[in-house]
Amino acid sequence: MKKSTIWFITIIMAVTFAGLIYVQFLYMNNMVRMRDDQFEESVRRSLYAVSSMLEQEETRHFLEENLAQVDNCQRYKVTPSTEGVSMSFTTPSGRRGNLTIEDALDKLPGSSPVPSSLTPKAGGNLEQRSRTLQETLRGRYLYQRGLIDEVILNIIARSSNRPIAQRADSLMVRNFLRFELENNGLKIPFEFAVANRNGALIYHTAGFPSGVSRQEERKEVYTQPLFPNDPINKINYLEVYFPTKADYLFSSIRFMIPSFAFTFILLLIFIYAIMVAFRQKKVNEMKNDFINNMTHELKTPISSLSLAGQMLGDASVRKSDTMMRHIAEVINDDTKRLRFMVEKVLQMSLYYNQKSVLNLVALDANKVIAASAHSVKLRVEKVGGRIELDLAAGRSLVKVDEMHFANLITNLLDNAVKYRSEEHPLILKIATEDLPHNKLQITVTDTGIGIRKDDLRKIFDKFFRVSTGDRHDVKGFGLGLAYVKKMVEEFGGEITAESEFGRGTTFTLTLPLAPDQE
């Protein structure tokens, strides 16, 4: 797959995921806002109903009070006579009045005289009786209306002077609030308070937010005037706070959590797939380079061996000892080159095994390093360089595979020779040092061409080769340092590289000591 195709798919999927997440957030935001509006409306309606119920409760209080007063006073006195009925009455406020109906009681219809019955004068007709009855009923109506007016005057004159704690008792307010909130579908905890027009709290429940430290919570308080017909300077307010309002609002979108979780999982899988695609693309390119490079490297020794075989078929060549020795050297050198290439490829088979098969034994790192340095000493001296050993570690026993440990040290030394600088002689320093926590440090420093910073972070990748500029004599497949890193990690250690371009490179290996030497 082309890199442009991968990028196109990535952009399309990124836009799709962004749109999906945006729609989900938009839907969630609308749900929360709609839920909040419904909550606000239900609370306002409930608070208004509580305020009305408190007013009705106060009206009932004054009615009961006035009725009690009326029952305790002399409402009227009936004085019967043979010529009519005379009524004297006293109102609760102390007013006195008289009502007289003139006529003979025995002439009125009915079997028994009652104070409220009316009898017209002797010789009267039906029309006079009807008029008299209407007047009596009108008197009763005026009396009852006077009582009601008196109650209303008492409410107007006395209600605003009562303490608010009596007019809106906390227990009664709590019961009214609970009833109205549940009636409007809000079965959640609440706290409330009653405050005056200056904002000072007259009383409040234990959980109601008060004080400077809870100003943010005060912003979530709902307010309703109590007894709005009171004088302005005497109006009080009912304040209600819902501590679990946020939970109530977001409970409506809890079903969105699995949706977000699935979207997030899909996003992670998509990102991982894209990373794998780009990595695979890069590995494929590096493998192609490796195959091309390896094919080129194999052509030279194969051609030399083929030519040597043809020369051995010539009888004249076989008669010359000098030519036979030369052909033998060519065959030997090219065979070594082929064996080296095959070993490099076989070393990388470790990458494709879940677990490498290693024969871990306790070895003296100083001895193995000295032996590896001796094996490359002639090559270093041949190019005009030298090797400096500083094996100062007192505890150098490590648990490693002998063959692979020797190979990784040799690889580092071989790289130093291959990437030497032509401007100054090669100086190759190898040192060991004791570290705390039972660790051994091995450093390999050279004065070669160095590594650029952009390449330094990729030198341990498979098939990666550092650019050598105009030099074309450096052969390899980009497997050496990847193999070194793999082996160091298999031994439980770490490897790092520091380099300054044009000055040289330092590789630092840290390995745990063998248990026998901890």
Each residue of 169-182: pLDDT tens digit? 889 999 999 999 99
| Token pair for 99 | 């009502």
Query: pLDDT, tens digit, for every residue of 183-235?
Result: 998 889 999 999 988 888 888 898 888 765 556 666 789 999 988 888 888 88
Which of 69-83, 91-105, 373-387, 425-439 has the highest mean predicted lDDT (pLDDT)? Answer: 425-439
Torsion of Cα atoms, 356 then 439 then 452 then 450, to 10°: -100
C-alpha 128/C-alpha 101 separation (Å) is 12
So what's the pLDDT on residue 86? 56
Number of H helices, E strands in the chain: 13, 14
Does residue 155 carry a pLDDT above 50? Answer: yes
Neighbours of 217 (CB within 10 A): 15
DSSP state of 436: T
The pLDDT of residue 359: 82
Confidence of residue 116 (pLDDT cuts 50, 70, 90): very low
CA distance 319 to 313: 11
Ordered domains of the chain (ranges, CATH): 3-67+163-253 (no CATH), 73-161 (no CATH), 256-348 (1.10.287), 353-517 (3.30.565.10)
- Could you count the other beta carbons within 10 Å of the beta carbon of residue 98? 11
CA–CA separation, 485 and 408 (whole Å): 9
Least confident of 138-152, 216-230, 447-461: 138-152
Which residues, other chains included, contact 382 with Cβ-Cβ below 8 Å and sequence gap of 6+?
A: none
Mean pLDDT, range 378-392, rounded to an integer: 87
pLDDT of residue 109: 46
In tens, the pLDDT along 312-370 reads: 887 877 778 888 888 888 788 778 777 766 766 666 565 555 455 678 889 999 999 99
| Residue 122 reports pLDDT greater than 50 | no
Rounded to whole angstroms, the Cα distance separating 507 from 189 reads 67
Q: Residue ranges of the alpha helices (H) in 159-228?
A: 164-167, 170-183, 215-218
> Residues 65, 71, 72, CA angle at the centre, nearest 5°?
90
Q: Calculate the average pLDDT of the chain.
A: 78
Q: CB of 190 within 8 A of CB of 177?
A: yes
- Mean pLDDT is lowest, of 271-275, 294-298, 417-421, for 294-298
Question: What pLDDT does residue 113 have?
Answer: 47
Mean pLDDT of the 62-67 span = 70
Residues facing residue 510 across a β-bridge: 441, 494
Residue 423 to residue 29: CA distance in whole angstroms: 69
User: Own/partner pairs for 118-125, CB < 8 Å, 24+ apart?
Assistant: 118/85, 119/84
Instruction: Output 261 or 355, whichever has higher pLDDT.
Output: 261
Q: What angle do CA 381, 385, 386 make, to 5 degrees?
A: 80
pLDDT at site 78 = 47
Residue predicted with more confidence, 154 or 382: 382
Across 290-318, average pLDDT: 76
Q: What is the pLDDT of residue 117?
A: 44
d(CA 386, CA 380): 6
Strand pairing class (397-401; 360-364): antiparallel
pLDDT at 108: 45
Mean pLDDT of 434-457: 88
What number is the average pLDDT over the span 43-66? 85
Give the separation between CA 83 and CA 106, rounded to whole angstroms: 9
The reported pLDDT for the residue numbered 496 is 92
Q: How many CB atoms are closer than 10 A to CB 468?
A: 12
Average pLDDT over residues 3-31: 86
Residue 105 has pLDDT above 60, yes or no: no
Give the separation between CA 226 and CA 195, rounded to whole angstroms: 10
Query: Please, how many CA atoms are within 13 Å of residue 284, restricted to the half-sphere of its CB?
Result: 9
Q: What percent of the chain has pLDDT over 90?
A: 17
Confidence of residue 110 (pLDDT cuts 50, 70, 90): very low
Q: How far apart are CA 210 and CA 198, in angstroms?
A: 14
H or E element in which residue 508 lies: strand 504-512
Tokens in use for 71? Answer: 């029952």
